[in-house]
Amino acid sequence: MHTLDGVSRGDQYRALGLSTFAFTVCFAVWTIFSIIGVRIKQELGLSDTQFGLLVATPVLTGSISRIFLGVWTEQFGGRIMFPLQMLVTSVAVWLLTSVQTYEVFLLAALGLGLAGGSFIIGVAYTSRWFKKEHQGTALGIFGAGNVGAAVTNFAAPFLVVAVGWEGTARVYAVVLAATAVLFFLLAKDDPVQQERKRSGARPVSAGTQLEPLKNIQVWRFATYYFFVFGAFVALASFLPRYYVGAYGLELTTAGVFAGLYSLPGSVFRALGGWMSDKWGARFVMYLTFIVSLIVLFIMSYPHTSYSVAGISGTIEFSFGLSVGFFVFLTVILGFVMSLGKAAVYKHIPVYYPDHVGSVGGLVGMIGGLGGFFLPILFGVLLDYTGVWTAPFMALFVIVAISTVWMHVAIRRTELGRHPQLAGERYLSDVPDQPFSKSGH
């Protein structure tokens, strides 16, 4: 564990504020294909499967890079890694405007995807400035940078109309590069890095950082994040396409409605962190999964027409969700997913205080892979079923499996350790002892 001696509240607010702002900008860049991809789809005549792959490709890089960026942040500090990651990504975004073919678009999207790796850099950097009893709230506030998806959904459609998708990409590249410079100039080294410089100690090796990944518990946390984060990213990218296709809306209107999903899916992450500090992350995860099941079941129901043989003849009626009610459901879904995202990352600094970068990186990577595979799955389902609500049916199944698995695993783990709890309904989610550098 690191010491916070000499760290003022102003230092904490500075680190949290800069990290949250930088993450917001990065997340806006990471989801840019949700808007400009619609125009690219039209220009290149892409199928829904091809469009899903294009939207998902940045998520692949952003996901896989998280585990490496997490380890490097533990070693070299967020003040170095955050600006470096943003500068490299801004170059990729700028070069995107010179691409002409679908295959090269996919390659450019891989570079753009580094923006998604910013999350674990911020988690590792921010968590070092706060005590564990406040880390849930702090990381929840930082995670509210997911609002960058809403920024893109709200603003990018109007930028596309005004300056074209190429101009929109250039604006994003410039803003990202400027943010990198500002972060480096204004941020401070975190307390761990400051102590290393004073003592001359060497950074912890990558092998030591990766040691906790052998624990099945880490992978269980990652499966939770596959839905609460991966599906969030997937839906933030997919919903504009859904509104345009299923309801025949204009891109600007579709972007605003998608933003109404992304906004609560981001800003209430801070509330999720506070709730996790107060009532426990496990309670918040149950709340997230149960509400999500209810909402996704309703969203999954396709527009259906019925014919009933009545006494005086055939009675015909239909059922379908109006666009207003559907948008309302997405707001509820985004809200509970934001709580779940905070709950997952509340676990990590409590159980693995010396391995936040590596453990958080793995969890973020698996969650991000959800954001990669799910848009492709959505496209395949649309192409092969022809049913607009098929993607929500798939999400319902995923959440149902995750909920059952989580409950069974929790009960088996706790009862195996404490058989006397067989009659207890409340089980704590706070470890007796966190995982230390020695592996205990």
- Are the CB atoms for 300 and 228 separated by under 8 Å? no
Spell out the residues 6+ positions from residue 52 whose beta carbon is closer than 8 angstroms to its own: 238, 375, 376, 377, 378, 379, 380
Spell out the residues 6+ positions from residue 220 whose beta carbon is closer than 8 angstroms to its own: 406, 409
Strand partners, 308: 315
Containing 174, the helix (H) or strand (E) segment is helix 148-186
Q: What is the pTM of this model?
A: 0.68
* CA triple 390-395-398, angle to 5 deg: 130
Q: Determine the length of the chain.
A: 440
How far from chain centre, in Å, is Cα 322? Answer: 28
Spell out the residues 6+ positions from residue 358 whose beta carbon is closer than 8 angstroms to its own: 67, 70, 71, 74, 209, 210, 211, 212, 213
Mean pLDDT of 169-189: 92
Spell out the residues 6+ positions from residue 353 whose beta carbon is closer than 8 angstroms to its own: 1, 132, 434, 435
Task: For 211-265, write each residue's pLDDT tens digit.
Answer: 666 677 777 778 888 899 889 888 987 898 889 888 888 878 888 898 888 778 7
Between 432 and 375, whose confidence is greater?
A: 375
- Going by the DSSP 8-state scheme, the letter that residue 202 receives in this structure is P
What whole-number distance in Å separates Cα of residue 109 and Cα of residue 116?
12
Between 207 and 352, whose confidence is greater?
A: 352
**All domains of the chain, ordered by start, with CATH?**
9-194+202-421 (1.20.1250.20)
Q: Which of 313, 314, 374 is nearest to 56 (CA)?
A: 374
- Going by the DSSP 8-state scheme, the letter that residue 422 receives in this structure is T
Mean pLDDT of 347-359: 70
pLDDT at 428 over 60: no
323-351 and 251-262 helices, crossing angle to 10°: 40
